[in-house]
Structure 1
Amino acid sequence: MKNSGVPLPQGIEIGALSRIIRHHFADRIEQVIHPLGLTLGQWTVLRELKRTPGASASELARAAVHTPQAVSRLVRSLQEKGLVERSPARGRVVDNHLTAEGHRVVDETFVQIEARLAPALEKFGKAHTEELRRLSHLLIQALEDPA
Structure 2
Amino acid sequence: MHADLQLLGRAVKQAQYRQHRALDSALATVGSTLAQWDALRAIARTPGASARELAAATFQTEQAFGTLVGRLTAQDLVERRPGHGRRIEHHLTPAGERLLKAGHKVADEVLAETFAPLPEPDRATLLDLLQRLNGTVAKP
What TM-score do you get using the length of structure 1 for normalisation? 0.82
Distance of aligned partners of 1:90 and 1:14 in 2 relative to their CA distance in 1, 3 Å threshold: farther
Instruction: Specify which of 33, 40, 65 is matched with residue 71 of structure 1.
Output: 65
**Counterparts of 1:14 and 1:48, CA distance in 2:** 29
What TM-score do you get using the length of structure 2 for normalisation? 0.86
Contact 1:87 1:96 in 2 (8 A): yes
> Structure 1 residue runs of 4+, over 4 Å off?
none
**Counterparts of 1:119 and 1:41, CA distance in 2:** 20
Contact 2:30 2:102 in 1 (8 A): no
Instruction: Name the stretch that deviates more: 111-120 or 127-136.
Output: 111-120
- In the comparison of the two structures, how many residue pairs are matched? 133
Contact 2:37 2:103 in 1 (8 A): no
Root-mean-square deviation over aligned CA pairs: 1.8
Offset of 1:72 from its aligned partner?
Answer: 0.9
Unpaired runs of at least 5, structure 1: 1-9, 143-147
Deviations 1:7-44 (A, max 9, x none): xxx74533212210111111121122223443332222
Higher-RCO chain (CA-CA 8 Å, sequence separation at least 6): 2
Identity percentage over the alignment?
32
Distance of aligned partners of 1:48 and 1:118 in 2 relative to their CA distance in 1, 3 Å threshold: same
Q: Does 1:108 align with 2:112?
A: no
